[in-house]
Every structure is written in structure tokens, then in C-alpha cells.
Amino acid sequence: MGQFIFTKCNIDGLYIIEPKCFGDNRGYFMETYNYEDFKNAGLSMTFVQDNQSMSRKGVLRGLHFQKKHPQGKLVRVLKGQVYDVAVDLRLGSKTYGKWQGVLLSDENKKQFYVPEGFAHGFLVLSDEAEFTYKCTDYYHPEEEGGILWNDPDLGIEWPISADMEITTSEKDKKLMSYQTYTSMQE
């Protein structure tokens, strides 16, 4: 019997994964990854690197991808709450340019699997958030790519509250538009 509920999203390849959590007066226990359970759900990827970050409310990281060494990512939140987004950049995909968002938190314990060929980013909604993810390939700094998080052609509906100030890195402020990215693929 598996320890996860795998829910396919409207965009092929994306999954929301809910681990079974066992709790009592001491706290809780859950598996966050099990190769056999994932394989039985059709997710037989191999992870080679784990990453973790901490960010404050209003920090928006993304939308990032690796050009020649694409990474699949299994993302989750250890503390706090984020809105996580994946944009389909797979050439020939019927959902090319479409996005999917999901609320991830330490309370709902949901995970999001983003396969190779997607841009990925997240917005921190809580005062701070600890975010972790497993990758299917190593990070190659020379292969970084990205699309502006607020590109109107993507139309991502970020849950930005009136009192939230968005903070991005200087690098992320200079990312290309979706239109520029698309023209480079032709």
C-alpha cells in the first residue's frame, strides 16, 4: 500500500503529490519520497541533487529553467506557505505556454512534481518560508535561463495581496519575455 496520493494536473507531466501523514500527541511522521511508490505512479525519475532555500514574504524566485541540462523537480515547503508555478516550455506540447499553480505549505504538506521542460518559480506568502526540492540533474550555472514572472503573455495569476511588496533578484529582473523565448525556439 502506497504512502502517497498522486493527482495528475491538467498539464501532462505535472503532479500534485500528497503524502500520508501519521500524527499523534508527539507530532507527526511521513515519507516524503519512496522510489517504488513513485515508480508505480509512473514517475520513475532519478534524483541526483537536493536544494533548500529560505525566503521572506513577497520574495518571488523564477521563472527558471536549465537550457541544455533540464531539471525535473520535486518541490515542497518545510515551513511557511508559497504559491508554486510551472510553465510548460516543451516544444510540440499541446499545453506549450500554459501554466499551473499550486499552494504548498507546511500545513497541507503537498508536493509538486515539475518535469524537465518547464520553467519554475514560487512566491512566498507567509512571513518566511523554507523551500526544498529534489532535482533530476545537476545545476549548471552556465545553462541558466528564465522568463519574467509577470509576463502578460503568460498571464500567471499570482496571489499578490495589497500589502505585499514583491522582491526579486537583480538577475530575475533581467529575464527575457515569453515572446523572446518563443522566438528563440523557432
The catalytic residue positions are 64, 133
What CA dihedral angle connects 138, 49, 146 and 128, to 10 degrees?
Answer: -160
Buried b (16+ CB within 10 A) or exposed e, 116-134: bbbbbbbbbbbeebbbbbb
Q: Name the grid cell of 120.
A: 519554475
For 30-70, give the DSSP string. --S--HHHHHHTT------EEEEEEEETTBEEEEEEESSS-
